[in-house]
Amino acid sequence: MIITIIVFILILGLLIFVHEFGHFISAKKAGVKVEEFGFGFPPRLFSFKRGETVYSLNLFPIGGFVRLYGEERGEKAFGEKAFHNKAIWKRAIILVMGVVMNLFIAGVLLSFVHGIGIPSVVEEGSGLNYSNVQIQILEIAEESPASEADLRIGDSILYLSSNFDRVDVNDTEDVQKFVAAHAGEEIKIGIKRGKETLEKTIVPRLNPPAEEGAVGIAMAKTGLVSYPWYQAILKGFKSVGHLFVVMIQMFYLLIKTLILEGTMIGNVSGPVGIAVFTGQVVDLGLAYVLQFAAILSINLAILNLIPIPALDGGRLLFLLIEKIKGSPIKVKT
C-alpha cells in the first residue's frame, strides 16, 4: 500500500511538473516575467529566489502552478514583461506548451517501454521475439464467478485443476477446454499476481449471460517485445500519436453519450480509482507502470485542451476570440 501511494504521487508529480515546466520555459523564452514556479499546492514548505522568479515547494504534491506577471488583466502590470502585453501567438505558445510537454514525456516513457519490452498480445508467425509469455486476464465481467473469486485484470493463469485432473496452461485454448469440460463443477485456478502465486476456487456457469463466458473473463496470450533504441524512439512517439487520436475519440463518445442519452459509457475513475489501478500496475512490473504513466500524461494533455475557462483550452479559446474581435474579452467577477 505504501509503495502504491509513493508511486502514485511520483507519477502525478512528474506529469504535473513537466506540464508546468512547459509553461515556465516557454514564458521565459518569450520574455514574460515568471513571478513564481511552484510544485505542489500551498501551504509553502520552503522557497528560494533566483533572478526574478521564486521557486517554491509546497505541502500537497499533487499539483503545481506557474504565476506569470500580468497574466490576469485586473493586475496593474505594465511593460514588455507582462503576459497580456505579448503578441497573441506568443501567449498561445505559452499556454499550449504544457500540453506539448505532456505529450513529449509520454513519448519518452513509451520509447523506454519499447526498449525494455512493451506488453503485447502474442501474434503467432509475426517473427517477433516475445519474453515473459503468459496467459493474462484482460477483462472481468461484473457479478461473474471470476469477480466473486477475486480474480483481477493482469492476473496470469498458471494452471487449472479439479478433483480428477490438472492442466498447466500454455494457451487460451487450454483454459477454454478445461472450463467447458467442468462447467457447473468446482475447480481451482492457479494464478500469478505480481510476485505472488495464488489459488482461487471457482464454479464455471452452465448458462452464462451472452458474450460473457462460463467464468466471466477475457484473456489473451501476452508477452514483452523489445526493440533497438532507434526503433524504440520511433515506435514510442508513434504510439503517442495513435493513443492521442483514440483517446480524443473516446472523450467525444463519452460526452456525446452523456448529452444525448444521459448515461456514461464504461467506468470513469477519479483520483481514488487511478490510485487503486496504480497498485495493480505496480504488481505487474516496470513496463506496465511506465505505460500507465504515459497514458495518464496523454489523458492530462487532452483534459487541458477542453475549452473550459479554468483550463488551458479555455484560455486558448479566449485568445482566439480576442484575435477575431481585435480586442481582449472583458471578464466580470
- The pTM of this model reads 0.81
Model pLDDT, residue 140? 92
- Can you state the percent helix, strand and coil of the chain, rounding each to 5? 45, 25, 30
pLDDT tens, position by position, 290-320: 998 999 999 999 999 988 888 899 999 999 9
DSSP assignment of 74-136 equals: TS---STTSGGGS-HHHHHHHHHHHHHHHHHHHHHHHHHHHHH-EEEE--TTS---EEEEEEE
CB-neighbour burial class of residue 120 (10 A; exposed 0-12, middle 13-18, buried 19+) = middle
With contact defined as beta carbons under 8 Å apart, do 73 and 81 qualify?
no
Model pLDDT, residue 333? 38
Domain ranges of the chain: 1-117+231-333, 130-225
Compute the mean pLDDT over every residue in the chain, rounded to the nearest whole number. 87
Model pLDDT, residue 257? 78
The set of catalytic residues is 20
CA-wise closest residue to 85 among 37, 126, 31, 125: 31
Provide the CATH topology of domain 130-225.
Pdz3 Domain (2.30.42)
